[in-house]
């Protein structure tokens, strides 16, 4: 589970056994291919349980880090991103009262966006950057999210106790892509175009994502 989520936010796995949580990936892309990416982990709906988990050492073999350890790791991640080519304006937020964490940065082009996931994947020794990538053709105005289901994530998830696996039923992953021009068409059968035609959203449960029932891949053509 940690391998699946680590590219979005550093310590998702630390709280992955909370009753309900939301992971949101937001990409705002300009016509020239530059933009901003933001990842958010929101456990506010189960902050009482999250607080209890923070007092434990391990759950099902997953180490639960302390607040200071989390802050240290986030600072390490921020410094890595600041030194990644094409990445700038790196910011983060850690709210241990409501258990909400987010990190955001600007990317110069789609190559820098892929460098973002590669930097995190390499540092945390995960295969997240191998399972997801982005492409943008300025001529055809086509944004592509490539995605390959991780069999490792499904395998790790199956190792959790039944009760802990059920706790993911109210956990969701949402991706939101916003553009500065209208969407002409998009290929995903599970994603939706916003009423103003300038955003595409996909929301799925974490278990559906882990099992491979939902594919994050999409091809979005802009007007």
Domain that holds residue 93: 2-222
What is the model's pTM?
0.85
pLDDT, one tens digit for every residue, the chain (223 residues): 343 343 333 344 444 554 578 889 999 999 999 999 998 988 888 777 777 777 777 766 666 777 888 888 888 889 999 999 999 999 999 998 988 889 999 999 999 999 998 887 777 666 655 788 999 999 999 999 999 887 777 777 777 777 767 767 788 999 999 999 999 999 999 999 999 999 999 999 988 988 889 999 999 999 9
Nearest to 101 by CA among 119, 84, 77: 77
CA distance 141 to 135: 10
Tokens of 104: 């955001």
Whether residue 6 contacts residue 128, with contact meaning beta carbons closer than 8 Å, is answered with: yes
Q: Is 159 helix (H, G, I), strand (E, B) or coil?
A: coil
Tokens of 55: 């007092």
* Count of domains forming the chain: 1
Dihedral angle sign, alpha carbons of residues 200, 7, 47, 19:
positive
């Amino acid at each position: 589970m940690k391998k699946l989520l680590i590219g979005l936010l550093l310590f998702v796995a630390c709280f992955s056994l909370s009753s309900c949580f939301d992971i949101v990936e937001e990409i705002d892309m300009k016509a020239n291919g530059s933009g901003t990416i933001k990842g958010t982990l929101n456990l506010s709906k189960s902050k009482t349980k999250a607080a209890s988990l923070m007092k434990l050492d391990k759950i099902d073999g997953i180490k639960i880090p302390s607040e200071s350890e989390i802050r240290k790791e986030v600072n390490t991640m921020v410094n890595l991103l600041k030194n990644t080519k094409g990445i700038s304006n790196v910011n983060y937020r850690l709210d241990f009262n409501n258990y909400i964490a987010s990190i955001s940065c600007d990317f110069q082009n789609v190559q820098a966006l892929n460098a973002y996931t590669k930097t995190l994947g390499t540092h945390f020794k995960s295969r997240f950057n191998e399972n997801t990538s982005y492409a943008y053709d300025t001529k055809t105005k086509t944004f592509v999210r490539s995605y390959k289901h991780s069999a490792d994530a499904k395998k790790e998830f199956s190792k959790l106790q039944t009760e802990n696996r059920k706790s993911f039923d109210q956990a969701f992953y949402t991706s939101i892509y916003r553009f500065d021009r209208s969407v002409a068409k998009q290929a995903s059968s599970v994603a939706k175009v916003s009423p103003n035609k300038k955003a595409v959203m996909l929301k799925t449960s974490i278990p559906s994502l882990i099992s491979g029932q939902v594919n994050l891949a999409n091809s979005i053509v802009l007007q």
